Structure 1
Amino acid sequence: MTTRVTAERIRLLRLLPRAGGAAVGTLVGLQLARAMIPAAQALSVGYLVAVLGRGHLDRRALAAAGLVAGLFLADQFVWLLLNTVRPLVVKRIDGNLRAEVRTLAVNLPGLDQLESRGFQDRAARAVDGGMGVARDRSAGNAATGQLELVFRMVSAFAATVLLATFSVPLALALLLVSLAIRAVLRRQWMGIIDRLDADTTGQRKEYYVSEQAVFGAAKDVRLFGLSDWFLGRFRAMATRTYAPVYREMLAVLRRQWWTVLLTGGSALAALAVPAAAVLRGSLDRAELITFVLAGLGVMSISAMGREAYDIEYGLRGVEAADELAAEYRTTARPGIAPRSGPTVRSGSAGTPGGPGAAPPTIRFEEVVFAYPGSARPVLDGLTLTLRPGETVAVVGANGVGKSTFVKLLGGLYRPDSGRITVDGVDLGTLDLPAWRRRLAVLLQDFVHYPASLRDNVTFAAPELSGDDAVREALDRAGGTRMLADLPGGLDTLLWREGAEGTDLSGGQWQRVALARVLFAVAAGRQVLVLDEPTAHLDVRAEAEFHERVVSRVRNVSTLLISHRLSTVRPADRIVLLRNGRVAEDGSHDGLIAAGGEYARFFAVQAEAFRAGAR
């Protein structure tokens, strides 16, 4: 147990160099100065009392008074400097650790590991900025807290050495009792952290509800009067999460009666033993002051300062980060080289083919996939070939796996069985970042980035620059009029929070998202994926969609997913999914003539459109 605790504390101290040599060196110097000041104060106050006890004031009395005052001022000055330097060291260490966790998360090849409860809980503990009962799970605070504790120990040992010049038994007794009290208090209070860590998921839910109430669902809260509902949910979650913690705190307080008695007895001994020596005549009054202050300095180590909680809370975060690295670092590798299969040619799946490179042949071979935690497969034996330069539409009822198909194509998940090949090479063996640089994907739930219009378009292909290319993409997406109406043009900040930003309508955001993927195609992407690309467009814009967008891309394979069958009608092939596999495959006219499920879907939608027109 002692070996493990020592190793953990050394692990924290090894984090300090991440903050930089100058900052850490300054912090160490300040902590050392503050550790030596209490013993120096005890000696200086004793010397002042001795000088004043001679009955007359002279230069020595003034010098002694100045020394005492100077030490007290120095203590305050060092404390002020510590409050400046310590946060700097903390933020640098925390930033470094957060960057490591962020890099680890970004480099995970798929979403299955990222969405797992094990990863989520550990990541939450590793980067938790502090929320709840007297907790601050900061690695930086833990490292600087451990450094502070080291120098608190140094200060207590210095006071012990000073007190030992009067009485070795008293000095050792006070030190041992103080350390024992600290150990017991630490064990009792630190059990509260285990209670908090037992429900990391509940803490995330509590944060999510509070975030939604203030920002995410602000309009619904007002329109539907949901403030009481959110408040009730938040109270219920907070009670479930923190009630066990408060019960544990009360239990700890009830168990501490004997430590209070032991502390009182130690303080009495620190006062009484030197006082008895004065009464016997073996100790003068000046020495009494010095040794009493030294005794109190020894006992100060028994107090559980803020650093104790910083250490324990932060240590759990560091351990969580270590566990993440140990479990996921082997799989979180950017640029994974192919493990098997033929050598990938330039412009194929292993490298981001430039403009003009041929689109790949993509095959789904008996692919079976179920989301983690679900026993029912979304795709169940899917076999499908996407040929180079072809426009393929995927349709079907809700929940048949259309969007899942896109996620597997992007390597965000791996099939449970079967395989996906790109030009004959298993997708699971390829350099996934390079493969993704060949894709231009418009997801159904595309992101509204709180950035300029220019950035919202260019994020899909940062390597391509130039406002002309941005305007061209917006024009092809039908966004020219929108661009003209925005106050700042391409520099307009698209942000719905605050008065300085400009929010867009659903249809306008759809055009921005379309421009984003068209911009990526202009940068050389060879596979264009459009998942519900007309969901927010009006009837006229939807009717122009194929002519304006799909038909104008060249040397690109296009995968089009939509519930609106009028959008997919011009596609080279239409694939209907049912029960996780291909049920129908052919052209629009061929499927209509076959009179199957696609024909029935199209007839229903066409009738609804005609009825609406009347």
Structure 2
Amino acid sequence: MAGLLFVDHTVWLVLQAVQTMVARRIDGDLRARVRLQATRLPGLDWLESPEFQDRAAQAVDVGMGLGWDRSAGGAATGQLRLTFRMLSALAATALLATFSAALAIGLLAVSLALRASVRREWIGIVDRLDADTAGQRYHNYLSEQAVFFAAKDVRLFGLSPWFAGRFRALGMGTYGPVWRQLLAVLRRQWWAATLTVAAAGAALGLPAAAVLTGSLDGARLITYVLAAWGVMAISAMGLEAYDIEHGRRAIAAADDLAAHPVAAGSAGHPVPAAAPTIRFEDVVFTYPGATRPVLDGLTLTIRPGETVALVGTNGAGKTTLVKLLGGLYRPESGRITIDGVDLATLDLPAWRRRLAVLFQDFVHYPADLRENVAYAAPERIDDAAVRTALEQAGGAALLAGLPSGLDTSLWNEGTDGTDLSGGQWQRVALARALFAVAAGRHVLLLDEPTAHLDVRAEAQFHEAVMSNVGDATTILVSHRLSTVRSADRIILLRDGRVAEEGSHAALLGLGGDYARFFTLQAEAFTANATTEGVR
């Protein structure tokens, strides 16, 4: 007996370790599938949609609502546990049938019916939870904002009570219906408890009565009672039932993502080897959920090697034009051509390797300085080229001041990480774009490149950067009209179309919106300069 107990405990420990290992490997595979699906998407339309966000959250949910992970590995191991439980119940049924076939079959039928009914009601709670996946995502987002991303505002403005109150209110709104349904299920379990008591009475009473009447040997009583108990054990909702259901939902969500058609982009017409002619032909584009198009019949031609500045009020479509040119979105109607070939039919990855893009909300990579510059052209990581790009972007002093030079980690959450100021990060991002141009990118897209620079640094940027783009076509988006004066052509967008077009001098002579905006900005700058001089 001691030996059997030792073996039993040893096997249990081994099974626990193996179960954990198997579950984690399966979960890792599922998460890898979701990540691969996300990275394979050629554009942002499906990636940014609520449907994709909900399915991705369901595939990798960590069990915030009911404290139960959606683990595909847990579902697999849970299915094995359930299989063995079912086999044990069948074996117990066969043993009990040697005493009474009617009692054995009746207990098994009642136990399976109880299990199916209870499972249906309890698993219905998961349906209620899945009905508001967006609420769960927002609840998690609010928590991250309070603890990490909005930490400065929380302390400076005393927002802790606001965040705490919003967090509680959102939690009640999102999870309150789930817990109310849970309580309702508990209240409806009286009939299941009654039926269980009746079945238990039969399981205990019939063998006992047989012993009292002498039709059953008393030594066999405990055998049949334990066998009956083994049959009834299958009626209990073990933990594996929840593991299976939650994991099944995760797998279904991942399968839904995989089933979504992914637009082709890995093959198509070859891209031009040099700076191409880019043309927007009556392009219309509306963001999902918006009621008005951002671009509404835009027609524009950008010639090879030309520096074109895009200006206009907020929402005029400047950044959207850049995103469409990068293939992040597709026009609703019209087309964008590259040397006469529709962008939709080009080899999209190859086309993107011809672009150097700097958005206003550029990424701060959790990596060293070298990689933060060279990621714009990862196929060419060369220290000399990185240093040259930093110098051209006005970052020589920044490089000299860092403790480990190019090896300095810019991940400020790391042990030896170094954070940069907004202007310094802007220079790193500019160096990233120039590095890409030096690596052979023929189209440079700059979306508000001097947003974090002062006026003097802005002037240095245009003197140093714009003189180092070579033959690349440059598209510059800016609200500061002083930064676009040297452009070959200035395009003013209004209502999603080209409203004014020409050189700086020509547009001033036209006396339209550009001239009015430029005059207002110049007057504000003159007033600020006068005030600073008086001080």
* TM band (smaller chain): over 0.9
Match of 1:553 in 2: 469
Letter of the 2:422 partner, please give it: G
Asked whether the 8 Å contact 1:130–1:138 carries over to 2, the reply is: no
Structure 2 CA distance for partners of 1:70 and 1:167, relative to 1, 3 Å: farther
Distance 1:375 1:446, change over 3 A: same
Q: How many residues align?
A: 530
- Kindly state the Cα deviation for residue 285 of structure 1 after the two structures are TM-superposed: 4.4
- Per-residue deviation, 1:284: 3.9
- 1:113-157 residue CA offsets vs partner (Å, 9 max, x unmatched): 112222222222122232111432122212221222112111211
TM-score for the superposition, normalised by structure 2: 0.95
Counterpart residue type for residue 368 of structure 2: S
Matches within 5 A, 1:63-102: 66=1, 69-102=2-35
| 1:471 alignment partner in structure 2 | 387
Q: TM-score, normalised by structure 1?
A: 0.83
Q: Determine if contact 1:108/1:333 at 8 Å carries over to the other structure.
A: no
8 Å Cα contact 2:265/2:346 also seen in 1? no
**Cα distance in 2, alignment partners of residues 475 and 199 from structure 1:** 51
465-474 vs 270-279, greater mean Cα deviation = 270-279
| 2:106 pairs with 1:106 | no
After superposition, the C-alpha distances for 1:208-248 in whole angstroms (9 at most, x for unaligned) are: 00010000101110010001101111111111111111111
**1:48-447 alignment, distance < 5 Å:** 66=1, 69-326=2-259, 328=260, 330-338=261-269, 344=270, 347-348=271-272, 357-447=273-363
* 1:140–1:314 Cα contact (<8 Å) kept: yes
Counterpart secondary structure, 1:114: coil
Amino acid at match of 1:465: I
> Once the 2 structures are TM-superposed, how far is the Cα of residue 188 of structure 1 from its aligned partner?
0.9
2:431 to 515, 520, 526: 515
Worse overlay, 507-516 or 71-80: 71-80
SS of 1:136's equivalent in the other structure is coil
Render the CA deviation track for 1:46-71: whole Å, top value 9, x for unaligned.
xxxxxxxxxxxxxxxxxxxx2xx444
1:148-183 CA distance string (max 9 Å, x none): 211211121122222223332222222111111101
Preserved contact between residue 464 and residue 523 of structure 1 (Cα < 8 Å)? yes
Shift of the alpha carbon at 1:498? Answer: 5.6
1:325-379 CA deviation, whole Å, 9 max, x = no partner? 22x2x325450435xxxxx4xx51xxxxxxxx41111100111111111111111
Between 488-497 and 444-453, report the one with greater CA deviation. Answer: 488-497
1:504 aligns to what? 420
Cα-to-partner distance string for 1:304-328 (whole Å, 9 max, x where unaligned): 11111111122122122222222x2
- The residue matched to 1:400 in structure 2 has which SS? coil
**One-letter amino acid matched to 2:238:** G
How big is the shift at 1:98?
1.7
Partner residue in 2 for 1:610: 526
Where structure 1 has 5 or more consecutive residues not aligned to the other structure, the ranges are: 1-65, 339-343, 349-356
Unaligned residue ranges in structure 2 (runs of 5+): 531-535
Distance in 2 of aligned mates of 1:274 and 1:305: 27
Which residue in the other structure is 2:533 paired with? none
Amino acid across the alignment from 2:62:
G
Counterpart position of 1:573:
489
Counterpart of 1:486?
Answer: 402
Q: Distance in 1 between matches of 2:218 and 2:467?
A: 99
- Alpha-carbon contact 1:575-1:586 (below 8 Å) kept: yes
SS state at 1:571 partner: coil
| In structure 2, distance between residues paired with 1:334 and 1:73 | 60
Distance 2:104 2:344 in 1: 67
The offset of 1:442, in angstroms, is 0.3
TM-align CA RMSD: 1.7
Q: 1:301 to 1:196 in 2, by over 3 A?
A: same
Distance 2:411 2:381 in 1: 23
Q: How much has 1:282 moved relative to structure 2?
A: 4.2
CA shift for structure 1 position 254: 1.0
Percent of aligned pairs with the same residue? Answer: 70
**2:517 aligned with 1:588, yes or no?**
no
Q: How far apart, in 2, do the equivalents of 1:147 and 1:571 lie?
A: 68
* Secondary structure of the corresponding residue to residue 375 of structure 1: coil
